Amino acid sequence: MSLTEYERKRHFQRTREPAPGKPRGRAARPIFVVQLHHASHRHYDFRLQVGDALKSWAVPKGPSFDPSVKRLAAEVEDHPLDYAGFEGEIPEGEYGGGHVALFDRGLWSTRDDPVAQLAKGHLRFELFGDKLKGGWHLVRTQRGGRKPQWLLFKEEDAYADNKEADDMIDDLPAPTSGASARRATKAASKSVSKTASKTASKTASKTSARKSPGKTSASKTTRARRRDWSAIAGRVQGAKRATLSDAAFAPQLATLGQTPPTGEDWLHEAKWDGYRLLTVLRNGRARIWSRNALEWTAKVPEIAGALEAMAAARGIDHAALDGELIAGGGTQADFGVLQATLSGEKNAPLSYMLFDLVHLQDHELRKVAQRDRKQLLEQVLAGVAPPLGYSSHVQGHGEEAFAAAGKRELEGIISKRADAPYRAGRSDDWRKTKRLESDEFAVVGMTAPRGSRSGFGSLLLARPDGQGGWNYAGRVGTGFSQKLIEELSQSLGRKRGATPTAHLPDELDVDLRTAQWFAPQAVVEVFYRGIGNQGLLRQPSLKGVRPDKRAKDLLSSDRDPPTRGKNMASRKASKSPAADKKSTKVASKTTGNGASATKSSSRTKTRADATIEISNPGRVVYPDIGKTKQDVANYYDQVMDWLLPEIIGRPLSIIRCPQGSTRPCFFQKHLVAGMKHVDSVPLKEESGQVEDYLVVRDALAVRELVQFNVLEFHPWGAQARKPDSADRVVFDLDPAPDVPWSDVVAAARQMRGLLEQAGFVSYVRTTGGKGLHVVMPLKPACDWDLVKPFAHAFAESMAQMEPLKYLATASKKLRKGRIFIDYLRNGRGATSVASFSLRARPGAPVAMPLKWEELWRVKRGDAFTIESAVARIRKWKAHPWDGIDAVRQNLKKLRR
């Protein structure tokens, strides 16, 4: 959506600039790019990847490394990600005509949500490029104009200098002909003249005055440089002279224990829940490897840069360090943020917690005692700040250290013998003690026994899905006595069947395919060590059977859900404010997805009290009618029981408008940092890459999205648990501007009639835009490879029947006077706006479901608004699509 302006300004038959589309080479993490643009006015284009587009600013004089110099940055239209690789000539006469050269490119990060920061008008961020490094700021000014004006300036840090962008363009390809060449020559002569005028005194004063806040002060850096680290390392007992190899070294590993070791001979550190990384610094250059010797230097340029800056400030040429890469505080809940950041889904800052030093300058330290290595490492890292950190320890007091780790929600602790050397591989000198968590689960099946075991191999567990059903949670096969196995086999095996009674993950192992299943009945309590990728328990073991509880007790329980570990944010159940008001009504109401509405009610009634505070409630979102962010939140609260059945449990795309509906909005389908109540589901994309897609489970999640400035909700036509099967077909009747509304209504009625002739029932809604949606439910759901060809063929048949009225291609040239029958919303991953969703358009229109017989009374596709929609709904006795869930129809009959 944010690339509409970019596309409008360009003729892609005449320019080589990339057209909007699926990025061909998206980086794993968010990128930035700066391009030198010899247009009618020479300037630098500064671009930051936010979501699936490049937010862009024109900076006439280019970035300055001097923190006292604030450069004007005029916001321009978003650009596609592929523009990051564009260089060359834009033809004269075209928009932006002139030469484009790549000045710098790399990764960038920010501590908070970039969309929210941009909306507030102050983005703090770090760049990790070849030329541009360190902290920077973009601050919106109060100056008016067609496009917002910002100030771009450098943060006072180790990379601050008196350099200008023009001082670093010698290696850039220059235009060789035409107006671009003349402009470049003129600009170059100005740059040379300006450079010559700089005085030595100014340079000296800036250099001497500059510090590096958050790292080391100038005086500390001077003292650090004067330290003879070789002599310091040589005085430590066990150190020996050696040359540091420029290769990964084998790490020391810990052995799992049940309780922390006791005594003063042990050092206890936090067990960070991240990725183990090994670093070798040779001649001041950092190389970073994973535990299994895969190089990660390019994946974490901010860590490599910080290590090199630290080494340079302290006068260290060679070192080998051991540590853990983490996000946030390094807790289990943060591990998902770490993975999402490394995959490019999020943009959180990372930290490298260093806990060992095995080489310093020309001395190897492997045979140095653990306590002495830590003491030396602490000296080396004195005064460092993120992204580097020193992993401190306590000596003795293992139980207290373990308890403290639990309070911080860390995974556990690592205990190390104080006098032991650094030994590659797993040994008893390092011990890890993890926190055990436990929760109650319903037993929904059992696997066949193996070997000498009788009865069953393992019990299959489930947890409530929040909608009256169950999600598979994993299996438990340890912690049973033989007597208990016999008792459970006898009591549980009476009602065995072959059909699972819980929602299963997409990929099943052989045991699950051959398992025996039954309705949830018995309840067991299970220890586990976090939750893995598909919501399954990690290392579960039986704590005990709970004969005092039944499975249905878990459905109505007010307890917190299990703490999510890897790939899942920690969530606490909470009660929907909207559900409180209408819980009794929802239970008996039949809606456009009646079963889901009832289940939604049961979930919201069981949530613990919680609220989502709406920040900046008075900020105007719809300027033309004066509606605020609080008005938007109030609207969604009022229609919550009608909206939820449309979106709950489906992969979801959203449109966020942090600066209001009239300013650039963002299309998003993944979680961002800070979302605690919105769920996600891993789905494989066409590229083969697995991404976590947004999923709403309850009203609290919707309200949280509204807090994140969401205006529009666009669900898939499939459930998240069955993403490859469509349960709805949506035809979007999109008229050209000169098509009268009566023709759109006639088209919808004609489509309804043709579908009825084929034996299909359909429903209609306004889109909140120009047209109408004709919606055809499918039950049972059908594969996308059947649904999309059907939708395409049906649209084509209507276009052939009435070629002067309809077309089935998106060509704007052919659109005049006709209605585009958009069938493209019926592919895997495609979305269409949900009923009751607001639209980011003037007047705050709403997509509204209708009865066919009332369609003739509706005058426009945006006839219903934030105010009239609520008034309409209050009059309803039943949903206009009443009975849609009872319709059984599928496309397979067409093959007969």
CATH of the domain at 475: 2.40.50.140
- Residue where one domain finishes, among candidates 696, 713, 730: 713
Higher pLDDT, 526 or 806: 806
Range 387-408 average pLDDT? 89
| Candidates 55, 215, 271, 627; catalytic one | 271
> Across the chain, how many H-helices and E-strands are there?
20, 41
Tens digit of pLDDT for each residue in 410-433? 878 999 999 999 999 888 999 998
For tokens 């224990």, the residue is: 257
Q: Are residues 877 and 769 in the same domain?
A: yes
Counting Cα atoms < 13 Å in the Cβ hemisphere of 70 gives: 8
Asked whether residue 59 is domain-assigned, the answer is yes
Q: In Å, what is the CA distance from 76 to each residue of 53, 55, 151, 538, 759?
A: 13, 8, 14, 48, 51
Residues 75, 78: Cα–Cα separation, whole Å: 9
Q: Are residues 249 and 310 in the same domain?
A: yes
Q: Are residues 691 and 827 in the same domain?
A: no
261: CATH? 3.30.470.30
893 is catalytic: no
Cβ count near 389 (within 10 Å): 19
The mean pLDDT of the chain is: 82
Task: Tell me the pLDDT band of 151, cut-offs 50, 70 and 90.
Answer: very high
Asked whether residue 214 is domain-assigned, the answer is no
Residues 560, 607: Cα–Cα separation, whole Å: 9
Q: Are residues 448 and 407 in the same domain?
A: no
67 preceded by a cis bond (ω within 30 of 0):
no
Phi then psi for residue 148, to 5 deg, are -60, 145
885: CATH? 3.90.920.10
387 preceded by a cis bond (ω within 30 of 0):
yes
Asked whether residue 568 is domain-assigned, the answer is no
Least confident residue range of 382-386, 429-433, 501-505:
501-505
Q: Are residues 683 and 548 in the same domain?
A: no
Asked whether residue 659 is domain-assigned, the answer is yes
pLDDT value of residue 567: 31
Q: Are residues 657 and 616 in the same domain?
A: yes
Tens digit of pLDDT for each residue in 57-69? 999 999 999 999 9
pLDDT value of residue 477: 86
Burial of 444 (0-12, 13-18, 19+ CB in 10 A): buried
- Is 281 within 8 Å of 308 (Cβ atoms)? yes
Q: Are residues 863 and 768 in the same domain?
A: yes
- Residue where one domain finishes, among candidates 196, 217, 239: 196
| pTM for the structure as a whole | 0.50
Range 543-568 average pLDDT? 59
- Residue 679 forms beta bridges with which residues? 695
Asked whether residue 516 is domain-assigned, the answer is yes
Q: Are residues 739 and 698 in the same domain?
A: no
Number of domains making up the chain: 5
Asked whether residue 688 is domain-assigned, the answer is yes
Q: Which tokens go with 788?
A: 């999309």
Asked whether residue 570 is domain-assigned, the answer is no
The 3-state secondary structure of 837-878 reads: CECCCCCCEECCEECHHHHHHCCCCCCCECCHHHHHHHCCCC
Asked whether residue 566 is domain-assigned, the answer is no
* pLDDT of 759 strictly over 70: yes
pLDDT value of residue 562: 43
Higher pLDDT, 795 or 334: 795
Q: Are residues 412 and 278 in the same domain?
A: yes
Percent of the chain with pLDDT over 90: 45
Higher pLDDT, 587 or 645: 645
Task: Tell me the pLDDT band of 332, cut-offs 50, 70 and 90.
Answer: low
pLDDT value of residue 3: 85
Q: Are residues 158 and 239 in the same domain?
A: no
- Is 334 within 8 Å of 566 (Cβ atoms)? no
Q: Are residues 165 and 246 in the same domain?
A: no
Least confident residue range of 105-109, 208-212, 599-603:
599-603
pLDDT value of residue 511: 67
Q: Are residues 320 and 419 in the same domain?
A: yes
- Sheet with 252-257, edge to edge strand ranges: 252-257, 425-434, 412-417, 266-271, 393-395
* pLDDT of 607 strictly over 50: no
* pLDDT of 159 strictly over 80: yes
Q: Which residue segment(s) compose the domain that 635 sits in?
A: 577-713
